[in-house]
Structure 1
Amino acid sequence: MTSVSQKIKPVVALEVDNANASKRSWLSRLKLDHFRNYQQADLPIHAGQLVILGDNGAGKTNLLEAVSLLAPGRGMRRAKTEHLAYRASGFETTSGIADDYDADRLDWAVAAALENEDGTLQIGTGVPPSAKQGNRIMRLEGVTVSQADLGSRLAVSWLTPQMDGVFLDSPAARRRFLDRLVIAFDPAHIGRISRYEKALRQRAHLLTEQRGDESWFSALESVLAETAVAVTAARQSLIKALNQEAARGWFGFPGVELLLSGDTENWLSDMPALAVEDQLMLAARTARLNGDLAMPGPHASEFQALHLASQVPANRASTGQQKAMLIAVILAHARLQDRRLGRVPVMLFDDVAAHLDAKRRGALFDAVQSLGGQCWYSGTDDGQFKELLKTAQFVKILPANNAGETPIFEVI
C-alpha cells in the first residue's frame, strides 16, 4: 500500500482569481489500482499546483499519465490498454528468480475526486476484471459513461519532452495533436475521428482484397464524405478561434498562427458542406475505378504552425523557437477554454522545466499561475521549482525496492 509521509506542508488552497471561479474544475484526490508501476496508490491533493519529484524511473510520468487518461483519448503516451496494467518486473526474489507477480492480469483502474461547481464528483477509467478483451471504460459517479460524457466535465492538457518535435513529426502525429485540441471543446470529435478511420480502413481492405460491389463502396464512401466534412469543419473552427487567441503571444511566448490545408479544406472555403460531400464521393469513386486506394479527406490534411514575428514555419524554426511555439499553443488553448467554457484544463507538464532556461521557466510558471487552474509539474531537481515553494504541493516519489511493493509518496 502507498503511504504518505507525516511531514506534510500546510494545506494550500486552490487559487482562482477571475469571474469564472465557480466553474473551475480540479482534482482533489487521485487513486491508482494495479496501474503501471503502482500496485496501489492514494494521493490527496491540496493545491492548485503540484510538483512531482523523483529519480528517473520512479513513476513520475506514470502518475501524470494516469491523470491524462481521465480525459477522452488514449492519454499522453497513447499506450495500449494492455500495457497499462501493473507488473512487478525488474526485481528478483530471494531465490534469484524474477518475480512475475500478477503477470496475467490486464485489469487496472485510475480514480479521482473532481471538484467543480456541482461539488465533488467521482470519476475514473480503467479495465475492469470482468473485461474479456481488455476494453477500457470510463466512470462517472459509479456509472459507466462515454468518453464524451466525461470530457464534458473535465479537460486535461499536457506537454512532454517527446512532443518537442511535433512540428517535425509525421503528418499523422501533427493531426493527432490538432484533434486532441479539438476534443477539449467538442468531445464528440473523438467519435467522428474513430468512425472515419474505421470506414477508411474498411474501404482500403475491400480494395486490397478486390472485394465488395458498387453499393457497398458507395455506402462506405458516403459515410467517409459526411464524416470528413464534420471532422474538417471542427478542425477549422478550432484553428480560427485559437489563432485569434494565440496571435498576440503571452508572457513572452511568441505569437503563433496555425495552418491547415488540403482538398477538403479548400472545397469547404468555396462551396456548401453538402456540395463538398458530393465532391468527396466523386473523388473517391473516380480514384477507386482507376485502381487507386487513395482519396482526399482529413486523413491527408497538412497541419503546421507559423512563428508570426519571424514568419518562419515551425518545421524550419530553431529548436528553441519550436518549444516556445508549442508552449504558446498549449497556453492559448487553455485560455480559449477559459473564455469559451468557463474552465481551465488540468495541465500536465512532464519534465518540461528541465528543458527550459530560467527565464522561460519563470515565464511558464507565471503564465500558469495567471490561468488559475490546476497544474502538475514533474522533475528530478526541486531547484527548478523554487519559485513555487510557497504555493505548490511538493510530492516526492520513493521507488519500490522489491517485487510486490509500490512507490511511496512523501509530501515534502
Structure 2
Amino acid sequence: MSVHLTHLTLSQFRSHQRAEMAFDGRPVVLYGDNGAGKTNLLEAVSLLSPGRGLRRAAPEDLIGRACALGWKIEAQILSAGTPHEAITEARPGTPRSVRIDGKAATQAALGHLCAILWLTPAMDRLWTEAAEGRRRFLDRLVLGFHPDHAEASLDYEKAMRERNRLLRDAVSDPVWYSALESRMAEAGARLTANRLAVLARLKAARDDTSPFPQAALDLADDAPRGADDLAAALAESRRRDMAAGRSLIGPHRADLIGRWAERDLPAAQCSTGEQKALLISTVLAHARALMQDTGQPPILLLDEVAAHLDESRRAALYDAICALGVQAFLTGTGPELFTPLGSRAQVFCATARNGASFLDPVT
C-alpha cells in the first residue's frame, strides 16, 4: 500500500509566496532553471518529517523574503490507506510547531505518518567528509523502520548536553553524573540497536542484479553497545571527558562505513559518480526493505540526481522507483533528463518571476 502526499500548500516559505499542488502518487518531476525554487519545495516536503529538513536550516531562515510574518506548510498524506493532515509552521523568534489531524503534535510524531529520505548535491561528498553527515544519513534510514528513533536521539542528546555542562563547569558530584549517564546509556543502547538492525535489513535487501553498485554498510562505534556497559564506560571516562569538556564516547561518535560490495573497495576511494551510485543503491535497498516489511515505501526527495547519471542508469533508477511504487520528487534543469519516465510521472515547470517561485503543471 503506497504512502504519498496528495496535496501540498506552502505559504511564505522561502521563494514560494503561495503554492498549491495536488499529487496522485506517481513520481513528481520538477524542472526549471537554477534558482527557480525546485529545491525549496523539496525542503518543504522534508520538513514533514522529524528534524531540520534537508538543509538543516533554522526556522527563521525559511521565512519568505517578502513577508516577516512566518511560514506555513500544509499537507495531506495518505498513510496506510488513511488520509492525514499535517501542518508545520513557524513565526519569527519561535520554534516550529506541528499539528496532525488538528491536534498539536511533536516533530517525532511526523515519523509515524511516513518515512522521508533525501539525496542532495551536497551529499555527493558524504563518503569523504566528516562522520557527522554519514551518521545523520544513517539515522534518517533508521527512522523509516523505527519512528521512535527520533525520540531516543532527543533523549540522548538532551542528557549529553547536561552532562557536558557539568564537565565544562568541573562539577564532581557523582550522583548527578550517574543520573545523566544512566539516561544516556539507556537511550544510546536503543540508538545503536536500531542502527545495527537496519544495517542488517539493508544488507538482506540488496539487489545484486541492479546496474547500481551495491553498498556494504557497517557501523564503526567504539562505545559499548549494552546500556549497563555504556553507563560503566561513561563513568570511567569522566576524568578524561572533563579535561576535554565534552563526552568522548557514545553513539554520538559512531560512523557509517561504506564499501562497494562487489569490489570490496572503500566508498571513499570510489569515483564521484560511483559514490553517488552507492548512495542511490542504498536508498533503493531502504525503499525495498520498507516495502517488504510494512508495505509502505518512503517518500524520496532526489535533488538533481539525474545530472550525475548516464542515460542507462537514469532509466534504471526511474524503473526501480516505479516498480516499488515510491512517490519520488525529482528535480533537474530540463525535461529531457526525465524522458524515460514518460506518462509514469507528474511534471511541473518551475519558474522565477518578480522574485517569487511558481510551479506550473505540464500536461
Is TM > 0.5 for Structure 1 vs Structure 2?
Answer: yes
Q: Does the 8 Å contact 1:397/1:410 carry over to 2?
A: no
* Residue matched to 2:213: 254
The alignment partner of 2:128 has SS state of: coil
Measured at CA, do residues 56 and 232 of structure 1 come closer, stay the same or move farther in structure 2, by a change above 3 Å?
Answer: same
- Structure 2 gap ranges (5+): none
Query: 369, 373, 377: which is aligned to 2:330?
Result: 377
Which residue of 217, 221, 226 corresponds with 2:186? Answer: 226
- 1:293 is displaced (CA, Å) by 4.2
CA distance in 2, matches of 1:250, 1:191: 37
Read off the aligned partner of 1:124 and give its amino acid letter: I
The corresponding residue for 1:187 is 147
Structure 2 counterpart of 1:126, from 81, 89, 105: 89
**Contact 2:12 2:64 (8 Å CA) reproduced:** yes
Matching residue of 1:313: 266
SS at match of 2:35: coil
Matching residue's letter, 1:26: H
Is the alpha carbon distance of 1:387 and 1:263 closer, same or farther for their aligned partners in structure 2, counting shifts above 3 Å? same
Q: How does 1:393-412 map to 2 (within 5 A)?
A: 393-401=346-354, 406-412=357-363
**Partner amino acid, structure 2, of 1:301:** A
Contact kept in structure 1, 2:230 and 2:250, CA below 8 Å: no
* Amino acid paired to 1:333: H
Gaps of 5+ in 1: 1-22, 89-101
Q: Which residue of 1 aligns with 2:204?
A: 244
Q: Does 1:31 align with 2:16?
A: no
Per the alignment, residue 111 of structure 1 pairs with: 74
The equivalent of 1:46 in structure 2 is 24
Q: Report the alpha carbon displacement of residue 204 of structure 1 after superposing the two structures with TM.
A: 2.1
The percentage of aligned residue pairs carrying the same residue is: 38
Number of residue pairs matched by the alignment: 363
CA separation in 2, counterparts of 1:251 and 1:190? 31
Distance 1:163 1:390 in 2: 29
Q: Does 1:197 align with 2:148?
A: no
Residues 387, 280 of structure 1: alpha-carbon distance in 2 compared, 3 angstrom cutoff: same
Quickly say closer, same or farther: Cα 1:37–1:210, change in 2 above 3 A. Answer: same
Structure 1 contact 344–372 (Cα < 8 Å) conserved: yes
Pair 1:136-2:99 in alignment: no
Q: Does 1:339 align with 2:316?
A: no
Contact 1:283 1:295 in 2 (8 A): no
Amino acid at match of 1:262: D
Contact 1:126 1:138 in 2 (8 A): yes
**1:153 and 2:116 are equivalent in the alignment:** no
Alpha-carbon spacing, 1:158–1:408, altered in 2? closer, same or farther (3 Å): closer
Structure 1 24/283 Cα, relative in aligned 2: closer, same or farther at 3 Å? same
Distance in 2 separating the partners of 1:252 and 1:241: 20
Among 24, 40, 54, the residue aligned to 1:62:
40
1:332-375 Cα shifts (integer Å, max 9, x gaps): 01111111121011111111111211111111111111111211
| Alpha-carbon spacing, 1:342–1:400, altered in 2? closer, same or farther (3 Å) | same
Aligned partner of residue 121 in structure 1, secondary structure: strand
What is the CA-CA distance between 1:289 and the residue it aligns to? 7.1
CA RMSD of aligned residues (A): 2.0
Residue type at the aligned position of 2:215: V
User: How far apart, CA to CA, are the structure 2 residues paired with 1:60 and 1:362?
Assistant: 21
State whether residues 273 and 308 of structure 2, in contact with CA within 8 Å, keep that contact through their aligned partners in structure 1.
no
Q: Structure 2: how far apart are the matches of 1:384 and 1:136?
A: 35
Give 1:377 shift: 0.9
Rounded to whole Å, the distance in 2 between the matches of 1:119 and 1:33 is 25
Structure 1 CA distance for aligned equivalents of residues 211 and 241 of structure 2: 50
* TM-score, length of structure 1 as denominator length: 0.83
Displacement after TM superposition at 1:408 (Å)? 4.6
